[in-house]
Every structure is written in C-alpha cells, then in structure tokens.
C-alpha cells in the first residue's frame, strides 16, 4: 500500500491544485498560531504567579494571533468590570503570519523541481490560499469568544480578509517575478513610492531611537517598575521589541506634522505637547516629548519627511528625464498618493484604543497622517522631480560636432595671409613683365590677378616665367638653366607662400570591386534629361 503524496494529489488537474493551495493556506495559519502558542506557553510556565490554566493560555495565544492581523480585542477582566477595547497591533508579531501567507501563495505557483505538475491560475492561487487561511481564522475567532480576550466581530470581518488577501497577492506577485505595470508612469510611481516609504519609516525609527536614548533614565525606571522577576522582565522586553515598528511609525507621523494623540485630551506635534496626556507606565512611552511648546530640536523632526519626499522626487526625476514635464509631474503626484495610502494603513495599525474613556484614542490618526504625506509629496516631491528632470535633460542634450572648413575658405585664408614682402615681390614681377602681358591687361600696366580671376598669364611650356628668356635672369645676371635666382623677388615670394595641403588619395581605383558613380550632379552641372525609354 502506497501513501498518497503531494505529487499524486496534484495529478488530477487544476481542481486538485486548488485543493492543495487551500491546504497550504490552512497549514500557514496553523503554523503561525502554533508559534505564538509556544511563546505564550513558555512565558506562562516561567511565571512564578500564573493566573490561569492551560485553557487561558491558549485563549491568550488565540487573541494575540488575531491582534497580529489587526483585529480589535475586548478585555473583559478589568478593574471597573466594564469591557475595554484593545486595538494597538504589535507590528513585529504581525510579520510572522504575513510571511507565512506570502510563502504559501508563492510556493503554490513556484514549480520548483517538478515543473510538469499542474498549477492554478494566479487569481485562483490567491483565492485558494486565502480561503484555507480564513477557514482556520474563523475557527479561532469563534474560539476566542469564550476567553478573556474575545475578538470584535466587525474588525475581524474587515481586517482579517484585508491582511490575508494582501499577503497572498504579494506572494503570487513574487512567484511571477515581481512584474510591474506596463505603463512607464505607473512603474516609476511604484518604485518611487517604495523608496519614499523606506526613507520615511527609517527616519521615524531614527527619531524614536534618539528620543529613547535621550530619556534613557525614565525608560529604565518604567522597565524595572513593571516587573521585578526575570520572567516578567523578559516578557516586557519581548513586548517592547514587538512594538518597535510601531514606534517608527509614530516617529514618522510626528515628523509629518499631525503627530499622535495621547488620549482624547492630548496631542503631541513638533510645535509642542498640548493637553493633559493619559500615558501608562511603559518603557517606549518614556520617549514622548515633554509638555509645553516645542523647541528647535522638536522642529528638526520635519527633516524626516523632507528627506523622504526629496528622495521620492529625485527617483521620479531620474526616470522621467526623457518625458514631458506633465508626465513627470503626474508620476510624482501618483507616488505621493501611493505613499500616503500606505502610511494611512500603517498609522491605523500602529495606533488604536488602549482602553475606554480617555484611552480610547491612542497613537497617530490614520487619515491625518495619510493626508500630510500626500501634501508633503505634492509640495516638495513634485518640484524636486521637475528640477531633476530638467537637470537630466541638460546632460542628455547633444553637443554640436565641429564642422570642417571648406577648401575654398582655406585657400582664401592663405591668400589673405600674404606678407608685405610677398605683395611687393608680386608688384615688381608685374612691372618687369609688362611687355609680355600688354596684350591682355593694357600696355604698360601690371597684370592684376584679382581683377581677372578667370584669366591666367601665358606660361611657356618649359615652365619659365612669361616675358623672360629661358636661361637669362630678368635683372641681367648669369644663366641658371630656366630657374630664377634665389635672390630675386620672385623666388622670395615662392618661398614665403604656404605649401598647398596634400590631396586626399582614397585609392578607389585600386579596389577591383569599386565602380565610380556620380550620385548627384555638381552645382555647375545641369541635371541630365530623363530617358524617355525608361
């Protein structure tokens, strides 16, 4: 008898593949719930004063697992006897279930070693994995109703599907190779949004860390005052670590301007802390600013969103160097809206109620944080994108190539660069040869080359000068076999004249495959008449 394997289950077709994906989602939910149950059970065993039995521990683990998905809980064992809501999500705890759903959806579409097995479609994989996960989550919600931390049904019906479908969709997107939209503006806006979010949250974490280090004494006092035993301090330390991402979001909201509420009657912004805050004793809350008006150290928190939006606009401007200005501005504005939407979701998860009455509002207000992010992106990111685009277009502008001067211009320049000695030599030559040139230029007048550019003096066949007997110098010296005396003005003029540039020899006649062909007639030639036979 052979045991059924995963390979044999998926051979039935896509329906079997969907069933396998649904099982993967349920397993992911069980792994996340089991991990938190082990952690809570270890803290209960190490506690010297356990308040409940194993059943209470499992109910606490179920409530903590639901809280990691953004579900609000209700505390029934309060001092006043009235139920109090609990909605601040430890965002580091939420990483585990989100990663498990992401991995399950990714492995559903990833063929691995067996590339021939049938796989569901991307939408089918998301639906199947999320469906299996939500089936387990529904059982946990029902189970938590009988414990000390029951789930609020309205928030469970909204946040659980939102988180699970989002994580499953991200896993399928990863399995497909993380494709971006086909439109270049949408892809550039998504990249800029991610870069701006990382910069903004990183800056918020730096603000929280600096403030916590500044108030290290108060934080240590609150830490030691909550628990005296090592097991209680270990549990508090784990809770502080789980809330560190929340502190980063709070720091980002503080730098954006809206800040965060410390109860219904207090608001902390860079301008100061107004109202009467209702702050419980907790190490991370010791980093809150002091009451009163803000100073320049508080105003410096605005550098975080400023740098984030500048980086976001720079990313858009680099991508949009060859785009029109309108497309670049719209892309930067879309990146601002995308960043604002994600910041609003993070602010909603990082804050929430810690109790009833004055503690019913605690942390950043989601819509204020999102609107401030969009405003920063529109006022700073869009001009930055346009400026970077304009600077990039200057670098892309082609440089003019040097145009070589025509040959006629060089000849005229050489002719105009004659020295006075050359001009006087030419005049003396014209005076000495007036008899030979009288037929063309007038009797007794020197020959003028500029007045008659098309005419040329008669040159004997032996290469001598016109009007000069070969072998006899004009001035009456000894014969030099048809060559002028080096001391004469004519020889000096030839020596002073610049040498003509060498002719360009392309050796086209030596190429056996070359056939000369006149593509276009010269300027002084007329175009040949069309052939009537053609």
Helix (H, G, I), strand (E, B) or coil at 261: strand
Nearest to 460 by CA among 451, 469, 472, 447: 469
User: 275 - beta bridge partners?
Assistant: 266
- Asked whether the beta carbons of 287 and 223 are under 8 A apart, the reply is no
Torsion angle of alpha carbons 324, 328, 333, 335, nearest 10°? Answer: 140
- Per-residue pLDDT of the chain (534 residues), as tens digits, is 344 444 444 345 678 889 999 999 999 999 999 999 999 998 888 877 666 778 888 999 999 999 999 999 998 877 676 788 999 999 999 999 999 999 999 999 876 655 566 788 999 999 999 999 999 999 999 999 988 889 999 999 999 999 999 999 999 999 998 898 878 999 999 999 999 999 999 999 999 999 999 999 999 998 988 877 788 888 899 999 999 999 999 999 999 999 999 988 899 999 999 888 888 889 999 888 888 888 898 999 999 999 999 999 999 999 999 899 999 999 999 999 999 999 999 999 999 898 888 888 889 999 999 999 999 999 999 999 999 999 988 765 665 656 665 555 444 444 444 444 444 434 343 434 333 333 333 333 444 434 444 444 444 444 444 444 444 444 444 444 444 555 555 555 555 555 555 554 544 444 454 455 444 555 555 555 655 555
Tokens linked to 462: 């032996």
Tokens linked to 455: 């005419």
**3-state per-residue secondary structure call for 169-234:** HHHHHHHCCCCCCCCHHHHHHHHHHHHHHHHHHHHHHHHHHHHHHHCHHHHHHHHHHHCCCHHHHH
Tokens linked to 282: 């907790």
Distance CA 362, CA 350 (A): 9
User: Residue 527 contacts by C-beta under 8 Å, 6 or more apart in sequence?
Assistant: 521
User: Long-range contact list for 482-488, CB < 8 A, 24+ apart?
Assistant: none
Phi, psi of 268 (to 5 degrees): -110, 120
């Amino acid at each position: 008898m052979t045991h059924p394997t995963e390979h044999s289950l998926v051979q039935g077709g896509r329906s079997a593949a969907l069933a396998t994906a649904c099982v993967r989602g349920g397993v992911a939910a069980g792994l996340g719930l089991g991990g938190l149950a082990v952690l809570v059970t270890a803290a209960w065993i190490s506690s010297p004063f356990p308040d409940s039995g194993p059943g209470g521990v499992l109910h606490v683990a179920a409530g903590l697992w639901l809280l990691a998905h953004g579900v609000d809980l209700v505390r029934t064992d309060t001092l006043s006897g009235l139920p109090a809501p609990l909605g601040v999500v430890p965002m580091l705890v939420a990483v585990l279930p989100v990663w498990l759903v992401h991995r399950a959806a990714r492995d559903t579409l990833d063929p691995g070693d067996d590339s021939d097995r049938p796989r569901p479609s991307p939408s089918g994989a998301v639906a199947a994995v999320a469906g299996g996960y939500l089936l387990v989550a529904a059982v946990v919600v029902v189970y938590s109703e009988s414990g000390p931390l029951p789930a609020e049904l309205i928030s469970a019906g909204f946040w659980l599907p939102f988180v699970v479908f989002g994580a499953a969709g991200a896993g399928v997107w990863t399995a497909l190779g993380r494709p971006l939209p086909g439109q270049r503006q949408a892809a550039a806006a998504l990249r800029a949004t991610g870069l701006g979010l990382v910069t903004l949250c990183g800056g918020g974490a730096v603000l929280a860390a600096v403030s916590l280090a500044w108030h290290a004494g108060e934080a240590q006092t609150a830490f030691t005052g909550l628990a005296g035993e090592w097991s209680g301090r270990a549990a508090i330390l784990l809770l502080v670590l789980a809330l560190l991402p929340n502190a980063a979001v709070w720091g980002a909201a503080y730098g954006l301007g809206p800040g965060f509420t410390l109860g219904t009657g207090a608001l902390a912004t860079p301008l100061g802390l107004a109202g009467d805050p209702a702050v419980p004793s907790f190490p991370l809350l010791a980093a809150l600013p002091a009451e009163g008006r803000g100073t320049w150290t508080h105003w410096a928190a605005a550098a975080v969103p400023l740098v984030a939006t500048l980086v976001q606009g720079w990313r858009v401007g680099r991508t949009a160097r060859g785009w029109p200005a309108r497309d670049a501005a719209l892309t930067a504005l879309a990146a601002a809206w995308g960043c604002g939407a994600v910041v609003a979701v993070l602010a909603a998860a990082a804050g929430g109620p810690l109790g009833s009455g004055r503690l019913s509002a605690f942390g950043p207000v989601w819509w204020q944080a999102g609107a401030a992010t969009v405003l920063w992106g529109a006022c700073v990111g869009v001009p930055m994108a346009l400026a970077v685009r304009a600077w990039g277009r200057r670098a892309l502008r082609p440089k003019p190539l040097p145009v070589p001067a025509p040959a006629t211009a060089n000849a005229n320049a050489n002719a105009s660069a004659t020295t006075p000695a050359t001009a006087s030599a030419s005049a003396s030559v014209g005076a000495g040869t007036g008899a030979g040139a009288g037929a063309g230029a007038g009797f007794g007048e020197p020959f003028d080359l500029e007045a008659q550019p098309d005419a040329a003096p008669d040159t004997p066949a032996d290469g001598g000068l016109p009007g000069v007997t070969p072998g006899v110098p004009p001035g009456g010296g000894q014969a030099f076999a048809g060559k002028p005396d080096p001391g004469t003005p004519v020889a000096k003029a030839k020596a002073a004249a610049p040498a003509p540039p060498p002719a360009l020899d392309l050796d086209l006649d030596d190429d056996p495959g070359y056939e000369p062909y006149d593509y276009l007639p010269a300027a002084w030639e007329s175009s040949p008449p069309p052939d009537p036979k053609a």
